Amino acid sequence: MSSRRAVTGGGAGGAAATRGDAMDDLRARAEGLFPGGVNSPVRAFGAVGRPPLVLAAGAGPRVRDADGRWYLDYIGSWGPAILGHAHPAVVEAVRAAALDGFALGATGPREVELGELVRAAMPSLERLRFTSSGTEAAMSAVRLARGATGRDLVVKFSGGYHGHSDGLLVEAGSGVATLAIPGSAGVPAAIASATIVVPYNDPDAVAAAFAAHPGRIAAVIVEPVAANAGVLPPAPGFLERLRAITMADGALLVFDEVITGFRVGPGGAQGRFGIRPDLTVLGKIVGGGMPVGAYGGRADLMGLVAPAGPVYQAGTLSGHPLAMAAGAATLRLLTPDRYDALEAAGARLEAGLRAAAAAAGTPVGITRVGSLLTVFFRSGAPATAEEAFAADRAAYARFFGAMLDAGVLLAPSPFEAWFLSLAHGEGELDETAAAAAAAFAAVEAGR
């Protein structure tokens, strides 16, 4: 079972929890329509033993379920809702775009506008291409890396998630630097074996992979802040070593900034950490909550993408005007001072959570980069996905349930980030810390 499936689980939750007529009805109908009753596995709440919520609306830092209950929200649409839900300027931008019709099937002014905003913020994207999801963008970046280098192998990191394309849904082989094995049913071993999986924050393992396969690795794809094993900050020097190792071997460095892009700084993680990758993958915030992905980078590389070059990639709704409008409205509001506010919010929440855990006597490891954070139920912060995945999942499930009952909605998986927004003010953060104090006590009571 792939580590991602291991932590998102599947199927309806267990014990009775949030019940209500409308939500029960919608949940039942969804279960009769969609696999596991959801359109993305983590939404099934399988990892936290609760029936999945059906959320009907969001406003600022809160979301409302189908029965009318409101929750202080830290899912944040899995990252895009950095301004808070239904920000008036974003809603108005989408409304105005809609009056011009929807996708018209040709290049439009709004994709040009968003493309220029992206490049101004992240200059390494000398050229870029919009897609409709992060998966598409990551898949296309990997295809481009292989097409540009003429090499087949790709290195990724355990716990790293880059969407669900076959070659990236893999698990580590038996031993460092060995070829990967399928991480999902339906992924052919032949496809999986073109990927090598090594531990995050272990540059020596990356060097070993390159030593084992000299001149054969097309790219290293990395989340510069890993956030799909919970938040794992890059160890000092890790990203710099990746840049040096790939440069020395003629391989490409691909930053998957689907989560970190426009989240951890105005220039993403590459701006925060001062590393220039060859290619970057974007999603989530760049679309302001609408379906948008993007990949881009060196002009010489992007010049190989169809129709300019031999690497094919396409998409009916790529650059969708309403999505472009949402993304542009969002980026325009993310001025540099907003990141100071996000940093302060993250620090305030982290301090509140640390104090609450200490008061309850709950050992936790809290990791944070800006407005991304994770509370791991283990002593000390993990540095690798393996350490993260060994955290106490049952304790997280109890914590999640207690927070939910207190009106605070966390990610229904112990290995996701808490996504703060600019709508989370001091009141909301202090409300969260107070709820956490009781929730940590509930965790202790349940041991």
Instruction: State how far the Cα of 334 lies from the Cα of 176, in Å rounded to an integer.
Output: 41
Q: Is 73 in the site for ligand KE4 (CB under 6 A)?
A: no
- The answer, yes or no, to whether the previous bond of 307 is cis (omega within 30 of 0) is yes
Q: Is 115 in the site for ligand KE4 (CB under 6 A)?
A: no
184 close to 155: Cβ distance less than 8 angstroms: no
Q: Which is nearer to ligand KE4, 138 or 251 (CB)?
A: 138
Instruction: State how far the Cα of 389 lies from the Cα of 374, in Å rounded to an integer.
Output: 12
Catalytic residues: 161, 256, 284
Q: Which is nearer to ligand KE4, 161 or 377 (CB)?
A: 161
**DSSP symbol at 18:** S
Instruction: State how far the Cα of 446 lies from the Cα of 328, in Å rounded to an integer.
Output: 46
- Identify which of 266, 207, 259 has the alpha carbon closest to the alpha carbon of residue 232: 259
Q: Which of helix, strand or coil describes residue 389?
A: helix
Residue nearest to ligand KE4 (CB): 134
Q: Is 254 in the site for ligand KE4 (CB under 6 A)?
A: no
* DSSP structure string for 222-271: E-SSB-SSS-BPPPTTHHHHHHHHHHHHT-EEEEE-TTTTTTSSTTHHHH
280 close to 270: Cβ distance less than 8 angstroms: yes
Instruction: State how far the Cα of 272 lies from the Cα of 330, in Å rounded to an integer.
Output: 19
Closest distance to ligand KE4 from the beta carbon of 228 (Å): 5
Q: Is 285 in the site for ligand KE4 (CB under 6 A)?
A: no
Q: Which of residues 338-397 bind ligand KE4 (CB under 6 A)?
A: none
180 close to 197: Cβ distance less than 8 angstroms: yes
Q: Is 259 in the site for ligand KE4 (CB under 6 A)?
A: yes
**Segment interacting with ligand KE4 (CB under 6 A) among 46-54, 130-138, 197-205, 345-353:** 130-138
Q: Which is nearer to ligand KE4, 9 or 163 (CB)?
A: 163
Instruction: State how far the Cα of 444 lies from the Cα of 360, in Å rounded to an integer.
Output: 7
**Segment interacting with ligand KE4 (CB under 6 A) among 22-30, 64-72, 160-168, 339-347:** 160-168
Selected from 30, 42, 205, 225, the binder of ligand KE4 by CB under 6 A is 42
**Segment interacting with ligand KE4 (CB under 6 A) among 55-63, 134-142, 179-187, 191-199:** 134-142
Closest distance to ligand KE4 from the beta carbon of 8 (Å): 8
Q: Is 40 in the site for ligand KE4 (CB under 6 A)?
A: yes
Closest distance to ligand KE4 from the beta carbon of 150 (Å): 25
Instruction: State how far the Cα of 111 lies from the Cα of 325, in Å rounded to an integer.
Output: 8
Closest distance to ligand KE4 from the beta carbon of 138 (Å): 5
Q: Per-residue x/- marks for ligand KE4, 163-202, CB under 6 A?
A: x---------------------------------------
Q: Is 138 in the site for ligand KE4 (CB under 6 A)?
A: yes
Q: Is 135 in the site for ligand KE4 (CB under 6 A)?
A: yes
H helix intervals, 291-420: 299-302, 321-333, 336-360, 385-389, 393-405
Closest distance to ligand KE4 from the beta carbon of 134 (Å): 2
Selected from 2, 3, 133, 421, the binder of ligand KE4 by CB under 6 A is 133
Q: Is 228 in the site for ligand KE4 (CB under 6 A)?
A: yes
218 close to 145: Cβ distance less than 8 angstroms: yes
- Sheet architecture: strand order including 127-131: 127-131, 293-297, 279-282, 252-256, 217-222, 153-157, 195-198
**Segment interacting with ligand KE4 (CB under 6 A) among 91-99, 155-163, 360-368, 395-403:** 155-163
Q: Is 78 in the site for ligand KE4 (CB under 6 A)?
A: yes
Q: Which is nearer to ligand KE4, 18 or 77 (CB)?
A: 77
**Segment interacting with ligand KE4 (CB under 6 A) among 12-20, 157-165, 171-179, 311-319:** 157-165
Closest distance to ligand KE4 from the beta carbon of 432 (Å): 20
Selected from 416, 421, 422, 436, the binder of ligand KE4 by CB under 6 A is 416
- Chain length of the chain: 447
**DSSP symbol at 318:** T
158 close to 198: Cβ distance less than 8 angstroms: yes
H helix intervals, 76-133: 88-98, 109-121
Residues at the contact surface with ligand KE4, assessed by CB under 6 A: 40, 42, 78, 133-135, 138, 161-163, 223, 228, 256, 258-259, 283, 293, 416
